[in-house]
Structures are given as structure tokens and as C-alpha cells.
Amino acid sequence: MGFYDAVQWWEEWQLRIFVLGSLLIQCFLRFANILRKNYKSPWWRFPIWLAYIGSDAVAIYALATLFNRNTGKEWASTHRRSTSLQVLWAPILLVHLGGQDSITAYNIEDNELWMRRLLTVVSQVAIAVYVFYKSWLGDAFFLTAAILLFVVGTLKCVLRPWDQMRASINSLVNSSSESLKSLSSFEERFVQVATDHFRQAGHREPSSSGHEGDFWKPYDLFVDLTPHYGTRFRFLEALVDNPDEAHRLVRSGLSAAFDRLYTNDLHLASRLRLCLLILQFLINLCSLVMVICYFTLSHKESYDPTDVIVSYLLLTFTFAIECLVTPVMYCPRIQNFCKDRFPDQVAQYNLIGYLTRNKKNWRKLRKLLIFKDYIDQLWCMEPSKSSCDITKLVHGYLKKGWMDPVHRIKDVASYRAFNDNRGQWTLQQEACHDDTIKKSLQRSFDESVLIWHLATDFCLHLTNPSDESHEVASHCRVMSNYMVYLLFVNPEMLMPGARRFLFRQTYMKLKETLKLIVPQPDGGEPLQQRDATDAPRAPGVNSTQASPLQQDKSQQERCFVTNIFHAAEQLSHKGGPNIIFRARVLAQHLRDLRTGENDAKMWRVIQGVWVEMLCFSACRCRGYLHAKSLGQGGEFLSYVWLLMSYMGMETVADLMQRAAPVATDNGGNANDTTAASPAATLTGGGASGMTAAIPSVPAASGHRNGIVGGGAADDEITEAASPVMAADTSVDATTADLEVTLRGDEIV
């Protein structure tokens, strides 16, 4: 076949190829929502993204081809009968252009561009109508069915930008409950009622009635609107003793939010939208049945046989998708199955693992690629399936905050201090007064994450966890790897202003450290190597008794960790902050918490710090970023964030809208039972680092000179005062009245 023949073949077949391609894409998108909800891997999501982007392009190009053929006199005169049949494809292409209800948007930004989408729809509908008007040669019955198809296609095209408009941020804000707009003044009342409720011995059994619908629609949180404090109290009362139910409802809530933002869920549609959907379905059913029946019974000898086959495929598969599969997908049983389907996993990234991976020779080819950084972000570790376990740890931590006999929340000051913890509460609980450990929590948040990540790996590789601590150690590593994953892959969710380059900087330091260990090409003298088998072990544990957690580790990774630990001190004298050396010192002090063979306290401290860091990060992440992450497969941080809200804790809106304290004559806070010291207020980084006096700045920054999560760059950091809980007070006579008030729909 010569070039001219190939061009002729393409001219004849291009419309058929585009039409069948559009049909194939629509079939894939109809079921893609299930894959999209259950798989976060980019290798699964890439074909979905490609189909979503390509569906519009293919349908528009097919309509453009139809337009060109019918405006070209030469083609129209030589292919008149074939053209009249192909014109029937125009309204079906409009149906395809309207997309599938299971994926109205791929990214959160698509919803904000609904006006652009509407303009595209208007132009394509005009083209389809023009082509149909200029080229139709069929009879009246066929014309009636085709007009009905045009009505369906046009209606579906218009409904899609409407759905995107309803899911845009401004629409969600405007449709929010009026009771959410002025509730900050009731924080003190909520805390008082909640603390008094849990302080009473033998408090009443938690009630689960009336909360399902509220849990199922957490949309206001995604636009940073504060939930009603009365609703918060009911949530807290229902979930405080039921971690399994809390995890299930958090998962269901995220799934419902995903459906609200990225799909057209019938359960979330307005009455007008439901009426239009029913009308669309009935017209679609009638028109497709009419066209298929007429097409089957009519004489088709005058048409091109290939066009007849393509028309059959187009009509039957469109009928199956629009009139059979779509109603089945809305069956209650399938809806109940899908509503809890959301990625139940914790993404992982490990700094040492990243180093060992890049040491492989074949991976060095990636240096030739300009998008190596992007590939590194995609090439994460296998995600952990322990989402439920970590959620239960967070639930237990929040429950202790309300119900712990000694260190529980007692008033607004301690409530805010608890929300500002990033490890200090655990140190207080475990009576850990080590200054080095405390100062490691006073640094900038992203730096603290890296220091504790490396220290956790040092403790894990250099000390075999005991059988009793094996599960705790495993949870520690999962949380450690996840926080580093956020820093490297999704830093804006970890903390506003988090510095991704710290990960790269520490990686280069690790490579520099390894150069002191690995023999150099120039014959330089390396530092003495230590094999992983020389690593210190817990007393009484030999290599044959290593736990499965230890046995699963790469020997190369263990060797790297061992050598890095012993070589880190060699780099401490070089300029600049040395995160590796600080992590080494922290690991040494953490290992000093062991008493003989008992390492339980060490792992409890590490686990508690990571849980608090996870909560600290979650409540400082904007709802918009959580909504955006849902379209990308979801982040486990959203689980923690939603659970914290359900358990009555502060979100970023609460942190930014904290009311300024009323100063007393002695300079204290009239709302606080204890006034924070000036040192604690200025240094920050501790649970009392964010005082009510300056609520907004630290909540948004968390960096070097910030109040919360901020710390000095050097080692001479003034130690922040640990949170001081106010003395317990008796339940006054108004508690019952306040509780009744909070249980109601309105706060009086």
C-alpha cells in the first residue's frame, strides 16, 4: 500500500475508528469508578486519566470529521447514502460527550472549570445540529427517533457542567448549613460539656442513633467550615468507645465525599436533578428502542455494510450502557457495596530504602531523564495494609485525651494545648524527661519528621524488637514511612510550607556518609565497614531468633543503616545542619529508655510521638487539599483528619479562627486556668507552643520561626514548657442544661 492509498484508507475509515473508539472509552469509563476508588497506584490510574481526557477529544474530533464531510461538496456527492447513515451517529456522539455519571470530574480543578465545559458543550451541540440538518435523508419515523436522541444527548451534555458547578468549592460553601457560620464562640461551652460528660463515673452508654446521616455527609469539612458543636458532641459520644465503627464511618464518609465531588451520585442529587435524570432515562430508552427497531426492520441494502455494522454496535452498546448498566449500578445492594469501598492503605516511602534503590546500576539510567524527580515520587514502596490499625491508634490517643484520669482535657486551654501536641503529651505520659528527646520535637516540623524517621530506622535495625514490642515497632515504621512519604511526595498536605528539598538534602548527606564507608575509586581509605551482623542486638537475642519483621528487611538496607549510624559522627563537624547526626543522637537516647531486655517503653514513646505528629499534621491541612487528594486516590491523612473532627478535635478552620483571649490584670488569660510562660509562648514547638494569644500564624506555618512546630536551627533551643493541665473542677449545676443544649439542633 502506497502513501496515497494509506491516505485514502484513512479518509474513509477515520470516522468509524473515532466513533468506535469513543464507544470503547465510554464502556471503560462506566466501570472505571470501581478501579478508581480501590486502587491508588498510578499504574492503575493512568489509563483512567487517559480515557477521561481522551473521551472528549475523540468525540469532538468525530463531530468535527462529520462536519467537514458534510460541508465538503466532493465527499457529500460521492458518499451521499453513507453520509446520511453516519449523520445518525451525531446525537450518539453527544451522549458520549456528556460522559458517564461515575466520573464527572477527574481532578478537583475540573469542577472549577465548569463554565469552560459549558462553552464546549454549546459549540459541539451547535455543530451536531447543523450537520444533522444539512444531511438528513431519512423518513419521519427515523427522524422522530433521531430528534429524541438529540434531546437526550443535549440534556446529558448540559447536566455534566451542572454537576461540576454543584461540586465546585463556591457552590459547596453556599449550600452549607447556616448554623456553621458563627459557632466559634461556643467552643468553651462544648469543651465544658464534653469534659464534664466523660468525667462522670459510669457515664451513660454511647448512642448511635441519629448520627449515620451526619457522618455520611461531611462535605462542609472539605471547604473548611466548622461543624456544629452540638453535632460534634453527638459524634464524640457515639464513637469514643467504638474504634471499629469509627474507622468504618470515616471510610464511608470519605467515600461519600468522593461521590459528591467526582461523580453524580443519585443519593446526593437534588429533586430537580432527579427529575431530569428520570426524564433523560425515559427519553433515552424510548429513542434508542425506536432507532434499533427501525434500523433492524428497515432496508439497509443502500448503505455501506461496514457503516451498518458500526451503527449496530454503536446503538446496542450505547443502549446497554445507558439503559441497562446504569440502573443496575444504582441498585441498593451495589450502592451499599461501593459506599465503603475506598483505598484502605497507608502509602510508604523510606529514606534509606530510597538510597539503596538508587544504588542499583540499572536505575542510574533514570538520571538521563529530565523527569527523574517525578518518577522518584511515583516509585514508592508497597503501601501498608495497616490503615485500620493506625486509625485505632489515633482513636485511642484521642480517647485518652478526653478520658485519661490525669492528663485529660479539662478546659479550653488544655483542649487547645492537646491539639497542639506533636509528641509532648506522650513524653509526659511516659515520664520521659530526656532533654535531647524534647528538643528534637521543638525543631521545624519537617526537620523533626526526618530526624525521627531516621532515628526510628536506627532503633529498628540496631535493636531487635522483643516479641511483645514487635507489633508496636511495625506500626512505628509504617507511620514513619508515611510521614516521610508526605514530605517528599505531598509536602503541602504535611504542613503548609514543608520543604521537600530537606529530603533531597538529607539524601545527599547519606550518600556523603556512605563515601566514608564504601571503598573509593581513587584508592582513598574508607571508614571501617561494619556488617549488619555486627549491629547491636537486644540482650539475649541472637541472629537466629530474629523476628519476622527483621527477617523481611533487605540485608543491604540493614548494612547501610548500621554503617551510617557509626559514620554519622564523622560528618558532624562539617557546616550546616546535620540531620543524620541529630537522628543518631536521638536514637541513642531512645535506646537508653530500655531497661535490660525490656524495650517496651522505647517503642511506646516512638509510637506515641508518631501518632501525635500524624494528628498535628492532619488538623493543619486545608480541607481543599483533602478534597483534591480524594481525586488522586486519597491520603491516609484524610482518615486521621476526619476522625479527629468526629472525635471533637480542632481542624484548620478552628485553629485559624481561635478567639483572642481576654487579658486579665496580671497578664493571664481569663479563659485559661493557667497562663503560659513567656518562654513557652516564644519558643513554641511544644503542646503549649500555640497559645490562644497567637492562634493563626503557627497553625499555618509550623516552621523555623513559627509558634507551633517552629524551632531554632541550632541545638541551643530553649525548651518549651510542657502542657500543664488545669486542676479538675466539679460539675456545676448548669452542666446538664448545657449538655441538653448541645444535643439539640441549635446552640442557644
pLDDT value for 263: 87
pLDDT value for 732: 41
pLDDT value for 234: 87
pLDDT value for 466: 84
Confidence of residue 37 (pLDDT cuts 50, 70, 90): confident
Mean pLDDT, rounded, for 643-661: 85
328 and 219 within one domain: no
- Cβ of 46: how many Cβ atoms within 10 Å? 11
pLDDT value for 421: 94
Q: Which residue has the cell 468535527?
A: 64
Work out the percent of the chain whose per-residue pLDDT is above 70: 69
Please write the tens of the pLDDT for every residue from 155-187: 889 889 988 998 898 888 887 655 454 444 578
- Read off the DSSP letter of residue 526: P
Kindly state whether residue 158 falls inside one of the protein's structural domains.
yes
Exposure of 173 in the CB half-sphere (CA atoms within 13 A)? 9
Please write the tens of the pLDDT for every residue from 655-682: 887 776 554 444 444 444 333 333 333 2
**Rounded (10°) angle between helices 600-618 and 445-462:** 150
Please write the tens of the pLDDT for every residue from 138-154: 667 677 777 888 888 88
446 and 327 within one domain: no
Closest-CA residue to 111 (of 169, 61, 157, 57)? 169
pLDDT value for 259: 87
pLDDT value for 487: 95
Whether 272 contacts 159, CB under 8 Å: no
- Cβ of 66: how many Cβ atoms within 10 Å? 25
Closest-CA residue to 711 (of 516, 470, 489, 441)? 441
Q: Between these two residues, 698 and 436, which has the higher pLDDT value? A: 436
Please write the tens of the pLDDT for every residue from 430-486: 999 999 999 999 999 999 999 999 999 999 888 888 888 899 999 999 999 999 999
Mean pLDDT, rounded, for 490-502: 92
pLDDT value for 8: 84
Report which listed range, 31-35, 378-382, 402-406, 672-676, is most confident: 402-406
pLDDT value for 130: 85
Query: What string of DSSP letters covers 623-687?
Result: HHHHHHHHHTT--HHHHHHHHHHHTT---HHHHHTPPPP-B-TTS-BTT-SSPPPHHHHHH--ST
639 and 723 within one domain: yes
Kindly state whether residue 398 falls inside one of the protein's structural domains.
yes
Mean pLDDT, rounded, for 266-281: 73
Mean pLDDT, rounded, for 589-608: 91
Kindly state whether residue 346 falls inside one of the protein's structural domains.
no
- Read off the DSSP letter of residue 321: I
pLDDT value for 676: 39
- Read off the DSSP letter of residue 205: P
pLDDT value for 583: 93
pLDDT value for 658: 79
Q: Alpha-carbon distance 417 to 671, whole Å?
A: 13
Kindly state whether residue 377 falls inside one of the protein's structural domains.
yes
Look at residue 208 and tell me whether its pLDDT is greater than 70: no
Please write the tens of the pLDDT for every residue from 6-30: 888 888 889 999 999 999 999 999 8
141 and 65 within one domain: yes
Q: Between these two residues, 719 and 5, which has the higher pLDDT value? A: 5
Mean pLDDT, rounded, for 407-413: 88
Closest-CA residue to 153 (of 307, 291, 13)? 291
pLDDT value for 354: 79
Report which listed range, 115-129, 380-394, 552-566, 695-709, is most confident: 115-129
Kindly state whether residue 367 falls inside one of the protein's structural domains.
yes
pLDDT value for 213: 47
Look at residue 501 and tell me whether its pLDDT is greater than 80: yes
Look at residue 406 and tell me whether its pLDDT is greater than 50: yes
pLDDT value for 177: 57
537 and 434 within one domain: yes
Look at residue 109 and tell me whether its pLDDT is greater than 80: yes
194 and 113 within one domain: no
Lowest mean pLDDT among 339-348, 394-403, 598-607: 339-348
Confidence of residue 338 (pLDDT cuts 50, 70, 90): low
Closest-CA residue to 688 (of 654, 728, 719)? 719
Kindly state whether residue 177 falls inside one of the protein's structural domains.
no
Lowest mean pLDDT among 98-112, 331-345, 499-513: 331-345
pLDDT value for 396: 95
610 and 461 within one domain: yes
pLDDT value for 656: 85
**Which string of b and e fits 424-459 if b means at least 16 CB within 10 Å?**
bbbbbbeebeeeebbbbbbbbbbbbbbbbbbbbbbb
The number of distinct structural domains making up the chain is: 3
Look at residue 220 and tell me whether its pLDDT is greater than 60: yes
Kindly state whether residue 9 falls inside one of the protein's structural domains.
no
Q: What residues contact residue 500 under an 8 Å CB cut-off, 6+ apart? A: 487, 488, 491
Q: Name 669's bridge partners.
A: 663
Confidence of residue 77 (pLDDT cuts 50, 70, 90): low
Q: Of 589, 618, 647, at which residue does a domain stop?
A: 618
302 and 243 within one domain: no
Q: Which residue has the cell 448503505?
A: 303
**Rounded (10°) angle between helices 501-515 and 579-591:** 80
pLDDT value for 747: 36
Look at residue 205 and tell me whether its pLDDT is greater than 60: no
Q: Alpha-carbon distance 621 to 635, whole Å?
A: 12
Query: What string of DSSP letters covers 612-637?
Result: HHHHHHHTTS-HHHHHHHHHTT--HH
Mean pLDDT across the chain: 75
478 and 359 within one domain: yes
Work out the percent of the chain whose per-residue pLDDT is above 90: 30
Q: Which domain holds residue 208?
A: 186-261+392-421+619-748
Confidence of residue 718 (pLDDT cuts 50, 70, 90): very low
Mean pLDDT, rounded, for 406-423: 91
- Read off the DSSP letter of residue 2: -
pLDDT value for 67: 84
674 and 547 within one domain: no
510 and 655 within one domain: no
Kindly state whether residue 427 falls inside one of the protein's structural domains.
yes
Confidence of residue 699 (pLDDT cuts 50, 70, 90): very low
Which three-class secondary structure string do you get for 221-266? Answer: HHHCCCCCHHHHHHHHHHHCCCHHHHHHHHHHHHHHHHHHHHCCCH
- CA–chain centroid gap for 610, Å, is 19
426 and 484 within one domain: yes
